[in-house]
């Protein structure tokens, strides 16, 4: 992805990096922390290109020079990427990295290393890296990436400039999914359930989820007609399809999004519907349901999610929820 594309997802991070380059105040070590799929890896490579670029423009890589092209092709000798070997990053990996950095730069004076999942370093590896950070080699920059900043040694944290990556905006994620060929029905609901692009793609492609969506929509429809029939639906469909706890949680999320849609219709924000294919039905339902009743239903679903986390029996939980949603 280009610098311009990434400004839509992490504008604050990119502005800070651009300012540090422009003012020639680039830190020796950075820690990029945030949820999976927020662009940490992409921006680390963009930043590396900016630092190694032969013709940067206002801190941005030109994408045309030899250094930029070699980084894009994954074969720049002065940029090193480290990731877990199996379940962890071993001490030997850090030692090999240190040995590499005692050599003179091949293509430029600078050397840069990126460590993905830095929280997965073994204790010995982390201590080796700490020594490396305490006595940095000149013209060397480190970029550490993590989804769990609390697992990074405080001594390493203190030697890094930490930049926090925000979750991807829902609308941006939806637009990306639409660009990649997924229809609006799938893109809207996937973007509402996760901020992770890779996970959103999985949701769009998951046949189990497609069926789950149909079952939850049908349950809502039945709820409006007959609570006894809704109980039967739980017995017949829910217990068969939603067997694991995380699947039940997903069902509750979908149910919550239905009531959110009703609220959006009442607020005149139909362009933001999570179930755009239900627009006509939602309009009718929104006219017949008070805002207060929708709010109470959403509260009941959130309480059900809390009870589920407290290990309440899932079938009993759903039966109680159906009664609450019936008022």
CATH code where residue 156 lies: 3.40.50.300
Average pLDDT, the chain: 90
Q: Residue 31 is part of which domain span?
A: 3-165
CA 216 to chain centroid, in Å, comes to 25
Q: Round to whole Å and give the CA distance between 77 and 277.
A: 51
- Beta strands 29-34 and 161-165: pairing type? parallel
Note whether 229 and 310 are same-domain residues. yes
Note whether 154 and 212 are same-domain residues. no
Residue (of 35, 65, 26, 49) closest to 167 by Cα position:
35
187: in domain = no
158: in domain = yes
Tokens at 300, concatenated: 């009941």
**Quick check: 144 and 29 in contact, CB under 8 A?**
yes
Residue (of 184, 255, 182) closest to 215 by Cα position:
255
Give the number of other Cβ atoms within 10 Å of residue 68's Cβ.
21
pTM: 0.73
Q: What is the CA radius of gyration of the chain?
A: 25
Tokens at 127, concatenated: 């201590």
How far is the CA of 309 from the CAs of 78, 105, 239, 275, 303, in angstroms?
Answer: 48, 53, 18, 27, 10
102: in domain = yes
Mean per-residue pLDDT pooled into runs of 10, the chain (327 residues)? 82 93 92 91 95 91 93 92 94 89 69 95 93 80 94 93 91 90 94 89 95 92 80 78 89 96 94 94 93 94 89 82 81
- pLDDT at residue number 99: 85
Note whether 152 and 93 are same-domain residues. yes
């Amino acid at each position: 992805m280009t610098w311009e594309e990434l400004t839509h997802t992490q504008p604050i991070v990119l502005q800070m990096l651009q300012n540090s380059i422009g003012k020639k105040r680039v830190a020796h070590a950075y820690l990029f922390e945030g949820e999976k799929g927020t662009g940490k890896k992409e921006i680390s490579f963009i930043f590396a290109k900016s630092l190694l670029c032969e013709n940067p423009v206002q801190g941005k890589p030109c994408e045309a020079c030899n250094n930029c092209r070699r980084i894009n092709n994954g074969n720049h000798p002065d940029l090193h990427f480290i990731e877990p070997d199996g379940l962890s990053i071993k001490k030997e990996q850090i030692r090999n990295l240190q040995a590499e950095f005692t050599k003179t730069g091949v293509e430029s004076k600078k050397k840069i290393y990126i460590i993905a999942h830095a929280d997965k370093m073994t204790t010995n590896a982390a201590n080796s890296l700490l020594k490396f950070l305490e006595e940095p080699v000149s013209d060397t920059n480190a970029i550490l990436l993590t989804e769990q900043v609390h697992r990074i040694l405080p001594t390493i944290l203190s030697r890094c400039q930490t930049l926090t990556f925000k979750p991807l905006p829902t609308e941006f994620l939806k637009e990306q999914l639409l660009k990649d060929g997924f229809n609006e029905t799938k893109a809207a609901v996937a973007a509402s359930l996760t901020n992770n692009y890779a996970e959103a793609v999985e949701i769009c492609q998951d046949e189990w989820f497609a069926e789950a969506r149909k079952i939850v929509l049908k349950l809502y429809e039945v709820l409006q007609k007959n609570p006894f029939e809704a109980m039967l639906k739980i017995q017949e469909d829910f217990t068969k399809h939603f067997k694991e706890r995380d699947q039940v949680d997903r069902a509750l999320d979908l149910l919550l999004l239905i009531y959110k849609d009703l609220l959006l219709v009442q607020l005149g924000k139909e362009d933001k519907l999570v179930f755009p294919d239900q627009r006509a039905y939602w309009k009718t339902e929104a006219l017949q349901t008070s805002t207060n009743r929708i709010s109470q239903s959403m509260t009941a679903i959130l309480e059900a999610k809390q009870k589920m986390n407290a290990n309440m029996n899932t079938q009993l939980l759903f039966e109680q929820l159906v009664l609450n949603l019936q008022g």
